[in-house]
Structure 1
């Protein structure tokens, strides 16, 4: 692209996942000239394979102190729900140490308050975004269910319900009879569960990205398939170094998920403690109409979400960095975990496994900020809540990029908990 002032876009968005694309659309609708740059096609990273759950109920940190007891199993069991590759342990230890420090009372409360503020605004933001592109049909607002099977788990369920109510998360306790009435294909082993009415799911997360891309292109957003290798600031904005040469913009938005740390350090001088939860899914194309909404197993620690193309099993977490090859057996393990949860076992014929990177910070909160005199915008680190928080993040970024543009949602969450400067 030419360096002539007239050709320089207002914002270059680095990252074509759900967050980058939602932000790009928002910025374009505010009248800004926007370019999105990614080395992959839009939506082909973590946005392609997430669980599809609009997880507004998840207002607690990604781990608790029980992780200390589970550390030996995390290292020794390659198929466990939470795995830490022992070869990655030296690199992961500082991150895990910070994670544990953030579980102390004061930082814990800051995390919960920050997650609540985003999640309580997420459903409304998605409703506005999907209405804006005339595709409200992409989302189902029919709640989600957390089930338990063992009688001894009842106490844990009741304790979780109390914690959720304390955080003002809408939640209902369902007895086994209610579960069987609402989800009749689930096994008789189900003892009951917690139903979260103010959640939902997406029928096809990748298709959501595609629809947002279409709307963005209609609004003038340009998409470039390039690899951004570095960046620096200059008087009139930002210069990006790509495998196609230099690219200038007045502002840059870093929204490339687990790959955001290097660019953030180059532009801000701040080394952020960003790691990745490698998430897996298994898509079952022959499983339709098994579940009316997303169902999570308390004991088995995975989620099942009904989608247009079948039933998606997801939820396993692995800490092994960005460079290690995927352990696809972990995806197939999800099918084994489903055994006994249904009256008739799930059909795994022609199933497809997948692995992607969830960008995670040790305080479980994303970075959403405007730094470097407004030349650099940041939107990454949403861990497993990227899909949930994408639309509200786009509204926040829109307000930061063009504060005078206003906001149709009215009052947005305060951005203080998500500032880069907290690290």
Structure 2
């Protein structure tokens, strides 16, 4: 169906009038899915500078990540991280009011039985992620936005390589496979640093996007061409006497979808929901230099908790897990440590690089919130995707379209119900 026929079809088959709060990857892909289903859609998003986590991430389609970070392994590694001054994990004391209760809830979610349930739920969601991305870029008419060449995981020392390779190869991930690198791949990695890695794996089924800027432009163009509206403003929400959600000053919407990332927490709590979400902040440096080979897949330097990705507009080094509040001041030492890693590895990265810091929206069990409000009849939500927002955006959008249409979603959404945090045993 060409764009003109698609537009005529949509305009003649309008159904519900839907507001989406948030214009990140979740909000935009959900908007497009709903427009294609024949609905009227308005997006509210004030982030014109594209500073949200959707556009500052490593660009990695991480279908290999089927285990929630809230795990026994994470708890076991915590003392080592806290004692390492150069650790990628940061718990600022001035933000203890945010991360201490979150950490206690994470510990409960990491108990073996809870972790096993979370892993099963996340696997069901991740399993559809790559096909959803294939469908999306085809819908956008830009299939080259998705690069399916996998990625490398490398280690600095023989011991960390032995342990890391065993851990990844033992992972039962139905969405990805891992293999040792070939001699030719070892040569390519060696040329990056001037020395061979102590060990390396190639993940065969993951991918990356070619450009955040082009992805955003293509999504916005498709949304507008399909008749969607875009309001570059924050939304103020209120609930009427009938228990329905409205947006102040913008009339009535039949449905409201909360997809505002870290900004979803205050809005949802204002409406009476419990959302124990934290700002899990990440940092990156972006260089416009092109000395890194264009065809090199993303490289994860696991000993340094750093991933380097080549995009159309340059090179990005991303790292750090910093638990704080969204408005907590950025820590310049994080960028300094990133520069130290890049220099120590002698990577072809033009320093100093452009600095960015953004907040991943993370819930204690490291599962997203996807579903329908139990308190407000026309309120739906899709947020809290932590490190997997880019990966899970399109597949979550398809689930939201099914849910709003009154269909049975393709996977069980019970594990992602926000009400799980209102139960007596929740944190």
Mapped contact 1:237–1:249 kept (Cα < 8 A): no
* Alignment match, 2:371: 369
Report SS of the residue matched to 2:303. coil
Whether 1:252 and 2:256 are equivalent positions in the alignment is yes
Q: CA 1:133–1:86 in structure 2 vs 1: closer, same or farther (change >3 Å)?
A: same
Q: State yes or no: 1:199 paired with 2:206.
A: yes
Q: 1:71 to 1:294 in 2, by over 3 A?
A: closer
Secondary structure of 2:380's match?
Answer: strand
| 2:103 is equivalent to residue 105 of structure 1 | no
Corresponding residue of 2:78? 68
- Give 1:174's aligned residue: 180
* Residues 254-313 of structure 1 deviation map (CA, whole Å, 9 limit, x = unaligned): 00001111222233x221111111111100111344361000011111100010111100
1:230, distance to aligned residue in structure 2 (A):
3.4
Partners in 2 of 1:42 and 1:420 — Cα distance? Answer: 30
The C-alpha deviation readout for 1:21-43, integer Å capped at 9, x for no partner, is: 11011101111111000122284
1:356 to 358, 381, 385: 358
Superposition RMSD in Å? 2.4
Instruction: Give a deviation string over 1:180-225, Cα, whole Å, max 9, x none.
Output: 2454523324022221111011111232122111100111110112
- Match for 2:418 among 393, 417, 420? 420
Q: Do the aligned partners of residues 162 and 176 (structure 1) sit closer, same or farther apart at CA in structure 2, a change above 3 Å counting? A: closer
| Corresponding residue SS for 1:403 | coil
Task: Quote the residue 2:88 is aligned against.
Answer: 81
Residue 18 of structure 1 contacts residue 43 of structure 1 at CA under 8 Å; is this kept in 2?
no
Q: Which runs of 5+ in 1 are unaligned?
A: 1-6
Deviation at 1:20, TM superposition (A): 0.3
Any conservation in 2 of the 1:54–1:199 contact (CA below 8 Å)?
A: yes
Paired residues of 1:257 and 1:358 also in contact (CA < 8 A): yes
- Contact between 1:82 and 1:318, CA under 8 Å: does it hold in 2? yes
Per the normalisation by structure 1, the TM-score is: 0.88
Structure 1 window deviating more from structure 2 (168-177 vs 287-296): it is 168-177
Q: Determine the structure 1 residue equivalent to 2:226.
A: 219
C-alpha spacing 1:228/1:328, structure 2 compared with 1 (3 Å): farther
Measured at CA, do residues 199 and 281 of structure 1 come closer, stay the same or move farther in structure 2, by a change above 3 Å?
same
Kindly indicate whether the alpha-carbon contact (under 8 Å) linking 1:157 and 1:194 is maintained by their aligned counterparts in 2.
no
Question: Could you tell me which residue of structure 1 aligns to residue 247 of structure 2?
Answer: 240
- The TM-score, its normalising length taken from structure 2, stands at 0.88
Deviations 1:32-58 (A, max 9, x none): 111000122284411221110111111
- Cα distance in 1 for residues equivalent to 2:90 and 2:182: 31
Q: Deviations over 1:46-90 (max 9, x none)?
A: 12211101111111222511353146447xx4x531111101113
Matches within 5 A, 1:121-132: 121-132=128-139
- The correspondence for 1:301, drawn from 278, 302, 305, is 305
Aligned length: 402
- What's 2:403 paired with? 400
Segment drifting more, 141-150 vs 108-117: 108-117
Shift in CA distance, 322/108, structure 1 to aligned 2, threshold 3 Å: same
What's the CA shift string for 1:374-406, capped at 9, x where partnerless?
A: 5111000000110000000000000011135x9
Find the aligned partners of 1:190 and 1:256 in 2 and give their Cα distance: 40
Contact 1:367 1:419 in 2 (8 A): yes
Q: Which runs of 4+ in 1 moved over 6 A?
A: none
Q: Choose from 40, 57, 60 the match for 1:50.
A: 57
Contact 1:277 1:383 in 2 (8 A): yes
- Per the alignment, in what secondary structure is the counterpart of residue 249 of structure 1? coil
Q: Please give the alpha-carbon distance, in whole angstroms, between the structure 2 residues aligned to 1:126 and 1:273.
A: 29
Gaps of 5+ in 2: 1-13, 422-427
For residues 280 and 257 of structure 1, the distance between their equivalents in structure 2, rounded to whole angstroms, comes to: 17
Partners of 1:104 and 1:390 in 2: CA distance:
28
